[in-house]
Amino acid sequence: MKNFPKVALVTGAARGIGKSTVERFLQEGLKVVATDILPENETLDNANFVSLSHDVSKAESWASILRDVKSRFGRLDILVNNAGIGTLPDVEEENDAGWMEMLNINAKSAWLGIKAVIPLMRFNKSGSIVNVSSIFGVSGGFGKSAAYHASKGAVSAVTRNAAIRYAPENIRVNAVSPGFVRVAREEKTIEKAGDEMSQDILFRTPMKRWAEPSEIASAINFLAGKDATYITGVELFVDGGWMAT
């Protein structure tokens, strides 16, 4: 029986954790579909890579991406729901528009992604979905970013729910929940919050540093791959010890 290269779809892939995950998957010999609302213009010198424009909050955009994947490869083995945004407003500062934008991009997208890929994974009788959640999906953080906390809490919850639903079909669903990662979006958000929060992050992180995107990508690669075939419904904290305190 011919052993086909596995195909992975990574959202929010133009930068940060998503870009590092794409690079790691390519190193592992996977074919990778990298999607983003603003795709990376850089063209990787790799025949196993394709970059596509994708609005993860829209069902029709997911349908278009999956048609493309099926046409190109005829299969999908891995989905990484990574696309997301973050803001600072607390419960009283947040407004309807900000709340809904956060839930749509961070949480609704994970549900739409799972829903979109299941038929193709079911056809191949296997699959692995990794949702990128956050330590702030299960902790109160600094009392800020209320909508972000709510959105990531939803991602963690739907991960567990979908893991149970699809386990009998050999489709695994897990989450990686990072702490603070040295990516442009997070650094800009913390810079806006001020030095006090930046110092507090290091104080509350036992390893006393931020993560590199490649460290999160390694955890995603583990949960997505052959070394985690009996793992589903797990939320793996990659946080320098934050959740242990």
Is 230 known to be catalytic?
no
- d(CA 115, CA 96) in angstroms, rounded, equals 26
What distance in Å separates the CA atoms of residue 56 and residue 68, rounded to the nearest whole number? 15
Q: Locate tokens 């005829």: which residue?
A: 74
Q: How many CA atoms lie within 13 A of 26 on its CB side?
A: 18
Which tokens sit at 191? 């810079």
Q: Which residues, other chains included, contact 162 with Cβ-Cβ below 8 Å and sequence gap of 6+?
A: 114, 129, 173
Asked if 174 contacts 235 with a C-beta cutoff of 8 angstroms, the reply is yes
- The strand order across the sheet containing 31-36 reads 49-53, 31-36, 7-10, 78-81, 127-132, 171-178, 235-238
Angle at 115 between CA 114 and CA 121, to 5 degrees: 70
Which residues does 190 contact at the CB level (< 8 Å), separation at least 6?
180, 197, 198, 201
49, 73, 136, 148: the catalytic one is: 148
Positions marked active-site:
148
